[in-house]
Amino acid sequence: MSINNNIESQMRKGVLEFCILSILGDNQAYASDIIKQLKDAKLIVVEGTLYPLLTRMKNSGLLSYHWEESKQGPPRKYYSITAKGQKFHKQLSETWENMVSSVNTITNKNSKNV
Amino acid sequence: MYKTISINISGIIFNVNEDAYEILKNYLDKLHSHFNKTDEGKEVYADIESRVAEIFSEIITTNNQVITITDVNNLIDTLGKPEDFFDEEIHEEEPTYNQKYKKTKKKKRLYRDTKENMIAGVASGLSYYFGIERVIFRIIFILLFAFGGSGLWIYVILWIAIPEARTRSQKLEMKGEPIDISNIEKNIKEEFENIKENIKKNNYDTTIKNFFEKIGLLITTIVTGIFKAFGKVFGFIFILFSVAILSIIVGSFIFDNTLIQINDYGITTFSFTEVLKLFTNNSNINYLIFSILIIITIPILSVLYTGIKLLLNIKTNNKTIPLIGFIIWIFGVVIFTASTIDIGKNFTRGKSIETSTTLNNNKDIIYLVKNFVTDSINGKNIIFSDDDEDFLITKNSVYISPNFRIINTNSDSITVKIKRKARGNNKNSAAQNIDNIVYNWDFKNDTLHFDSHCFINNEYRGQEVKITIYKPEYVTIMGDDFDEFYW
């Protein structure tokens, strides 16, 4: 595995969690909705990778879910954000904004040199 | 027209084309075996299955009732190939070396330790694997080498079978959690869980398989499961068995006194070579011994190889070594055949010589006495008192016991006929071999003396001695040693 791949996937992983929390916000959503939004934003390519992530976030107490019957197909899991998740989301937003502005400052400054 | 298979995913029934079913099953099995290891994984797998059911439900309309191969391929494109899932997992584990170490600690692998090696690092690698001091393995190898030379075989096979620890992760794997009884037990339990799982899966299979097919599947699942679970036990037995046999065989060829003959007159020991030399005096006896060694040892070495692979859970798909072994074995068979044909030549021509002697006798009763032959073994004179043995081998020579019978005739005289037979590669050598048979008898006063055994030198060429006494009916032959008139 190349280092490039590794860094990229590490970055995406962190961002993904942040995005999931953002998508959920105050609403609840079902896995396929979340996936659809992430796919549209080109954050993920295949759906499969998201299921382990959702389960892990649920297990670490950031998300909770409840079952809802579906007219078509099996019952669906509707995810919503927990209090802990909300707190974490807020924290992540701040970190993200700080990071974006820091990174922007550096890359803008250096791109003039290139 | 297509055959469809009806399957149940997340409680919903779908009809799937047969070809599509194979792909789908393969795909889901891969995911299942990957995720099923942890509780979290099981949940993820359930989510994925329910997503599969959902995607399929969207496809099914009143016009389209069947899932096709295109649908399955689309599904896999949407969800991602198993590699995509697994890659993500690996990224998860990779961040720090500590985490990596934790992960590899669970699975321990056997490698050769080429850093702290004496020869190829086999003993050192084993010591990490079993958590035992490497000195102990070295001593075991040396002892095994000293007794029968099997240590060398095992060492070389391990050298071939065990990969060298090259990368950092392999070195970590090498040093992982030691294999002890509780771990082996855990392994066996896991295997049984797998069997249960597989059986369950087979029961869920709603495919229209007939009853017997299902039973067959069940049996193979159980048998392979048990084999896997007890693989280590079998491996251990294989190794013990093959080492024992190898030591005996190699020992009996290399060392003297490994074959033992026990009879009433004592215990004699020979080397295998000495016994073979009875049948041929050709110089190609070495080829024969060499080929027999190859023919016997290669299958045993393969058992040893399998045993080691089973015990230490080495996964190699090395086809070259078995192939080389097989070629050498065939080579051995060819040499063996050529050598035995050569030996067979010693037996091609048979010849017999009969001597007839009429006794000078006027008594109505004559006596038979058996003359017990003596041979010196290890300086002691040993008398062959046992006449049950047809074939006696001593350090110096071979003795065979003659065939003996008495026949009544109308003639008035007693005639003793002694027929000596032998074989050779031509008439002359057969005659020579007959001449070499030493058999003594005589008639003195009213008593016949016969040797209990005849001496046939150091070469067995199918020699036989038949004694027939023709006598008038009115003559009685008496002898303590001749309750029955046979030797």
The 10s digit of each residue's pLDDT in B34-61 is 888 788 888 888 888 888 888 888 888 8
Q: Which residue of A has its CA nearest to B85?
A: A49
Mean pLDDT, residues B353-363: 87
Q: Is A112 on the interface with B (CB under 8 A)?
A: no
Cβ distance of B77 and A10 shorter than 8 Å = no
Structure tokens at B128: 């990490």
Task: Note which residues in 50-69 of chain A have CB less than 8 A from chain B.
Answer: 51-52, 54-56, 59
Separation CA B334–CA B391 (nearest Å) = 30
Q: Is A33 on the interface with B (CB under 8 A)?
A: no
ipTM attached to this prediction: 0.83
Mean pLDDT, residues A73-101: 88
- Please report the pLDDT score of residue B389 as a whole number: 61
Q: What is the pLDDT of residues B401-413, one digit of tens each?
A: 888 888 888 888 8
Q: How far is CA B232 from CA A86, B55, B162, B172, in A?
A: 51, 44, 16, 23
Q: Is A75 on the interface with B (CB under 8 A)?
A: yes
Q: Is A104 on the interface with B (CB under 8 A)?
A: no
Cβ distance of A9 and B89 shorter than 8 Å = no
Count Cβ neighbours within 10 Å for each residue of B112-124 and write b for 16 or more, e otherwise: bbeeeeeebbbbb
Q: What is the dihedral of CA B163, B169, B174, B179, to 10 degrees?
A: -120
Residues of B with Cβ-Cβ distance to A36 under 8 angstroms:
none
Among B254-263, B273-282, B292-301, B306-315, name the one with the lowest average pLDDT: B254-263
Residues of B with Cβ-Cβ distance to A6 under 8 angstroms:
91, 94
DSSP B238-259: HHHHHHHHHHHHHHHHHSSS-E
Structure tokens at B149: 């030379």
Q: Is B50 on the interface with A (CB under 8 A)?
A: yes
Residues of A with Cβ-Cβ distance to B90 under 8 angstroms:
1
Q: Is B74 on the interface with A (CB under 8 A)?
A: no
pTM score of the predicted model: 0.42
Mean pLDDT, residues B263-291: 71
- Please report the pLDDT score of residue B397 as a whole number: 73
Which of the pair, B22 or B189, is modelled with greater confidence?
B22
- pLDDT interval class at B22 (50, 70, 90): confident
- pLDDT interval class at B419 (50, 70, 90): very high
Task: Give yes or no for a contact between A51 and B51, defined as CB atoms under 8 angstroms apart.
Answer: yes
Which of the pair, B393 or B237, is modelled with greater confidence?
B237
Nearest to B247 by CA among B234, B258, B262: B258
Cβ distance of B57 and A49 shorter than 8 Å = no
Q: What is the residue-averaged pLDDT of chain B?
A: 77
Cβ distance of A74 and B12 shorter than 8 Å = yes
Q: Which residue of B has its CA nearest to A58?
A: B40
Cβ distance of A55 and B89 shorter than 8 Å = no
Residues of B with Cβ-Cβ distance to A76 under 8 angstroms:
50, 54
Predicted confidence (pLDDT) at residue B301 exceeds the cutoff of 90: no
Structure tokens at B97: 């070396």
| CB nearest B57 (choices: A45, A55, A73) | A73
Q: Is A14 on the interface with B (CB under 8 A)?
A: no
- Please report the pLDDT score of residue B229 as a whole number: 64
Q: In angstroms, what separates the C-alpha of A25 from chain B's closest C-alpha?
A: 22
Mean pLDDT, residues A11-24: 84
Residues contacting residue B159 through CB under 8 Å, at least 6 positions apart? B112, B119, B120, B122
- Please report the pLDDT score of residue B136 as a whole number: 81
Q: What is the pLDDT of residues B67-117, one digit of tens each?
A: 888 889 888 888 888 777 765 554 444 434 443 344 434 466 788 887 777
Separation CA B391–CA B401 (nearest Å) = 7
Secondary element (H or E) of residue B367: strand B365-371
Mean pLDDT, residues A6-13: 73
Separation CA B182–CA B72 (nearest Å) = 43
Mean pLDDT, residues A48-69: 86
- pLDDT interval class at B180 (50, 70, 90): low
Among B66-70, B131-135, B266-270, name the one with the lowest average pLDDT: B266-270
- Please report the pLDDT score of residue B219 as a whole number: 77
Cβ distance of A13 and B91 shorter than 8 Å = yes
- Please report the pLDDT score of residue B324 as a whole number: 87
Q: Which residue of B has its CA nearest to A77?
A: B47
- Please report the pLDDT score of residue A5 as a whole number: 63
Task: Give yes or no for a contact between B410 and B430, defined as CB atoms under 8 angstroms apart.
Answer: no
Mean pLDDT, residues B439-465: 85
Predicted confidence (pLDDT) at residue B177 exceeds the cutoff of 90: no
Cβ distance of B94 and A6 shorter than 8 Å = yes
Which of the pair, B279 or A114, is modelled with greater confidence?
B279
Q: In angstroms, what separates the C-alpha of B28 from chain A's closest C-alpha?
A: 12
Helix B231-254 to helix B150-161 angle (10° resolution) is: 140
